[in-house]
Copies of this chain bind each other. A is one copy, B any other.
């Protein structure tokens, strides 16, 4: 497998090797030496004879022995030629540091395309360009120039060198953790996120994957790979760039509804990824998930030595929708036996000074709490680690005793313990001991809460996981001949949007329950339709030139008399022609009026990153003003459709609000799945990637 030869390269050529200490081509070799890289190093530079004691080669192809990997430190324009040469030599991969490609616009894009063509021709895989490099901590293959990165079980994938540095610094200063690999993805022009992920999924020394992502080129493949990975190993991911000018201005008024970050967030979560919103949380959450078993029942106990921390922790966990169950009576009784009478023992547990003279009591409390079947994990907050510092040096040993005891409890009960300590930065030995036992300790209360929250979320995911998801676009819905004719007619007329009657016909064809309606071209026809329908009607303009019908005055509701229908027909036509002079008016659609019920909107779109997606929401205002919508990457199962309904804030309306009968969620679920079929069956629907195609429906109670 080609990435294996790259990440475990036994020989590296440094193209652009230099004797000048400030140059990347010097530092790269210096770092490999300092870090004691186990493989062979070949400096390459036609102008040098030797660098740091190594013979320097004019070209990569001049090297006699095999070369697995090339680190290219020369400027953008030189790179196609270097790659040609690497190809001749049979190099498996190249790490390209230089910027100046796609990120600089059209000219750079051209250069990048040339580079990729060359790489493909010679079967050289590319990391970057515009990357800070890569590291294999196991073989000390350090192509980044950053010294002292700790070795461990987290694979780090980052699209920013600074964020990688941030995470590595944090790991060094605040944990006993380290990394198996680091890769700077850069422009992701050849090797994609999902390929890196697949490699780390299969790496036996990697227990978690930590990702910082700015943009992803093949989101759908990534989701598929992530979906497989997260069953074995957690992925922790931060996606930034949701506020960039580009995204603020992109898309039409409907396209803007997509809320890119919300689409991405939902998609990632569905693939089992732990999505992090704050960069501060990235490393801590990865530490917790790679060290600890998940919380299996979403229920956490809080153990505190003061009210303030306990109250704040309870607030944060509630926000994260983690339950803080009342402890069982027997648990409370046992805690009361060892704690002062003023202690709180229901949960949160507050020791109320009970540990002041003997902090090893924390271990006893933890043991009692973890035995409670109601409790899936323990969050300890407060001063632990600081009793020896604050009160009396002798307490230090009691704290260390407690750490040894607690360290063994996690494995015994298969429940996680996460610790917040105000004294973390004072680095007492007891906290280092906890970390030795893989119990993470955080100086931020907020971080500690979020970490146990992530463990609870992962527990829920693994519990609810079901194996039928396939993110690749292949659920093989079939078109129907009549549907094909509808689409082709529109295309023949040069239209990119179906008229409402056409869209309804298409959906009806695929099994959607649609109301009766008729298109009238004269006022008399409208009255005829009205009388046939028998009851109040709605009338809407049918014109390929008028998409926003209300704005054009093209919608009239609650018409219950023939005279009203005639008047409405004429007014709609007049207003439409005023709104869009010369508009091609096909008629006015007359439909039965729904006097009550709930409006539902289903939309589909081709997302830049994730391909076809679907959106669900209630009513025009709910969607367009409140943006109360949920998303899924297609295809969706009936279960996903159900969850989409549950995810909107106005969900309870569907369940029947204030004594109204509930709506028919089963039919609505089928309709969502049907929509995804239609999107696949007619690939022409893909042609307008920036806008949603809406399917507005009105449900009656009990429908």
Could you tell me which A residues sit within 8 Å of B by CB distance? 22, 99-100, 104, 158-163, 165-166, 169, 173, 212, 214, 238, 240-244, 278-280, 304-309, 311-312, 314-315, 317-319, 342, 357, 382-383, 422-423, 425, 444-447, 548, 550-551, 558, 560, 595, 620-621, 624-626, 628, 649-650, 652-653, 657-659
Which residue from B342, B620, B624, B649 sits with its C-beta under 8 Å from A99? Answer: B342
A22 to B173, CA, bound (A): 35
Q: A241-B315, A342-B104 are in contact. Are A308 and B658 (CB under 8 A)?
A: no
Q: Which of chain B's residues have a CB closer than 8 A to the CB of A311?
A: 160, 214, 240-241, 244
Task: Assess whether A160 is in contact with B307, with CB atoms less than 8 Å apart.
Answer: yes
Task: Assess whether A446 is in contact with B243, with CB atoms less than 8 Å apart.
Answer: no
Q: Which of chain B's residues have a CB closer than 8 A to the CB of A100?
A: 342
Which residue from B357, B652, B659 sits with its C-beta under 8 Å from A22? Answer: B357
Which residue from B304, B550, B652 sits with its C-beta under 8 Å from A625? Answer: B652
Task: Assess whether B243 is in contact with A314, with CB atoms less than 8 Å apart.
Answer: yes
Q: Which of chain B's residues have a CB closer than 8 A to the CB of A620?
A: 658
- Distance (whole angstroms) from the CB of A342 to the closest CB of chain B: 6
A163 to B425, CA, bound (A): 16
Task: Assess whether A308 is in contact with B159, with CB atoms less than 8 Å apart.
Answer: yes
Q: Which of chain B's residues have a CB closer than 8 A to the CB of A653?
A: 621, 625
A624 to B657, CA, bound (A): 10
Name A447's closest neighbour in chain B (CB-CB).
B280
Which residue from B214, B425, B595 sits with its C-beta under 8 Å from A558? Answer: B595
Instruction: Identify the interface centre among A307, A308, A314: most chain B CB within 10 Å of its CB.
Output: A308
Task: Assess whether A315 is in contact with B446, with CB atoms less than 8 Å apart.
Answer: no
Task: Assess whether A240 is in contact with B315, with CB atoms less than 8 Å apart.
Answer: yes
A160 to B383, CA, bound (A): 13
- Distance (whole angstroms) from the CB of A697 to the closest CB of chain B: 17
- Distance (whole angstroms) from the CB of A214 to the closest CB of chain B: 6
Task: Assess whether A162 is in contact with B308, with CB atoms less than 8 Å apart.
Answer: yes
Task: Assess whether B163 is in contact with A308, with CB atoms less than 8 Å apart.
Answer: yes
Q: A160-B309, A311-B244 are in contact. Are A444 and B280 (CB under 8 A)?
A: yes
- Distance (whole angstroms) from the CB of A564 to the closest CB of chain B: 12
A244 to B318, CA, bound (A): 9
Q: Which of chain B's residues have a CB closer than 8 A to the CB of A304?
A: 162
A214 to B306, CA, bound (A): 13
Q: Which of chain B's residues have a CB closer than 8 A to the CB of A306?
A: 160-163
Name A315's closest neighbour in chain B (CB-CB).
B243
A242 to B318, CA, bound (A): 9
Task: Assess whether B382 is in contact with A422, with CB atoms less than 8 Å apart.
Answer: no
Q: Which of chain B's residues have a CB closer than 8 A to the CB of A422?
A: 162, 165-166, 169
Task: Assess whether B657 is in contact with A621, with CB atoms less than 8 Å apart.
Answer: yes
Q: Which of chain B's residues have a CB closer than 8 A to the CB of A104?
A: 342
Task: Assess whether A307 is in contact with B652, with CB atoms less than 8 Å apart.
Answer: no
Q: Which of chain B's residues have a CB closer than 8 A to the CB of A625?
A: 649-650, 652-653, 657
Task: Assess whether B162 is in contact with A307, with CB atoms less than 8 Å apart.
Answer: yes
Task: Assess whether B659 is in contact with A158, with CB atoms less than 8 Å apart.
Answer: no
CB<8 Å pairs between A and B, sample of 29: A99-B342, A100-B342, A158-B308, A160-B308, A160-B311, A162-B305, A162-B383, A163-B306, A163-B312, A165-B383, A165-B422, A214-B307, A214-B308, A240-B308, A240-B315, A241-B311, A241-B315, A242-B318, A243-B314, A278-B446, A280-B444, A548-B658, A551-B659, A560-B560, A621-B650, A624-B657, A625-B649, A625-B657, A626-B628
Q: Which of chain B's residues have a CB closer than 8 A to the CB of A158?
A: 308
Name A317's closest neighbour in chain B (CB-CB).
B243
Which residue from B243, B357, B628 sits with its C-beta under 8 Å from A318? Answer: B243
- Distance (whole angstroms) from the CB of A354 to the closest CB of chain B: 13
Q: Which of chain B's residues have a CB closer than 8 A to the CB of A649?
A: 625-626
Q: Which of chain B's residues have a CB closer than 8 A to the CB of A560?
A: 560
A558 to B594, CA, bound (A): 12
- Distance (whole angstroms) from the CB of A390 to the closest CB of chain B: 8
A254 to B550, CA, bound (A): 35
Task: Assess whether B160 is in contact with A244, with CB atoms less than 8 Å apart.
Answer: no
A377 to B238, CA, bound (A): 27
Task: Assess whether B659 is in contact with A279, with CB atoms less than 8 Å apart.
Answer: no
Instruction: Identify the interface centre among A163, A624, A628, A657: most chain B CB within 10 Å of its CB.
Output: A163
A241 to B311, CA, bound (A): 6
Which residue from B309, B315, B595 sits with its C-beta under 8 Å from A163? Answer: B309
Known: A212-B308, A278-B446, A560-B560. 16 other contacts (CB 8 A): A22-B357, A160-B311, A161-B306, A162-B305, A162-B383, A166-B309, A169-B422, A240-B311, A240-B312, A243-B314, A243-B317, A279-B446, A280-B445, A280-B446, A558-B595, A626-B626
- Distance (whole angstroms) from the CB of A112 to the closest CB of chain B: 15
Q: Which of chain B's residues have a CB closer than 8 A to the CB of A626?
A: 626, 628, 649-650
Q: Which of chain B's residues have a CB closer than 8 A to the CB of A548?
A: 658
Name A649's closest neighbour in chain B (CB-CB).
B626
| A-B complex: 4 closest residue pairs judged by Cβ atoms | A160-B308, A162-B306, A243-B318, A163-B308
A551 to B656, CA, bound (A): 11
Instruction: Identify the interface centre among A312, A446, A560: most chain B CB within 10 Å of its CB.
Output: A312
- Distance (whole angstroms) from the CB of A627 to the closest CB of chain B: 8
Task: Assess whether B445 is in contact with A308, with CB atoms less than 8 Å apart.
Answer: no
Task: Assess whether A550 is in contact with B445, with CB atoms less than 8 Å apart.
Answer: no
Q: Which of chain B's residues have a CB closer than 8 A to the CB of A161?
A: 306, 308
A624 to B652, CA, bound (A): 10
Task: Assess whether B445 is in contact with A279, with CB atoms less than 8 Å apart.
Answer: yes
A345 to B166, CA, bound (A): 23
A357 to B308, CA, bound (A): 47
- Distance (whole angstroms) from the CB of A468 to the closest CB of chain B: 32
Q: Which of chain B's residues have a CB closer than 8 A to the CB of A242?
A: 315, 318
Q: Which of chain B's residues have a CB closer than 8 A to the CB of A425?
A: 173, 425
Q: Which of chain B's residues have a CB closer than 8 A to the CB of A445?
A: 166, 279-280
A620 to B314, CA, bound (A): 31
Instruction: Identify the interface centre among A22, A382, A425, A621: most chain B CB within 10 Å of its CB.
Output: A621
- Distance (whole angstroms) from the CB of A423 to the closest CB of chain B: 8
Q: Which of chain B's residues have a CB closer than 8 A to the CB of A658?
A: 548, 550-551, 620, 624
Q: Which of chain B's residues have a CB closer than 8 A to the CB of A243?
A: 314-315, 317-319
Q: Which of chain B's residues have a CB closer than 8 A to the CB of A240?
A: 308, 311-312, 315
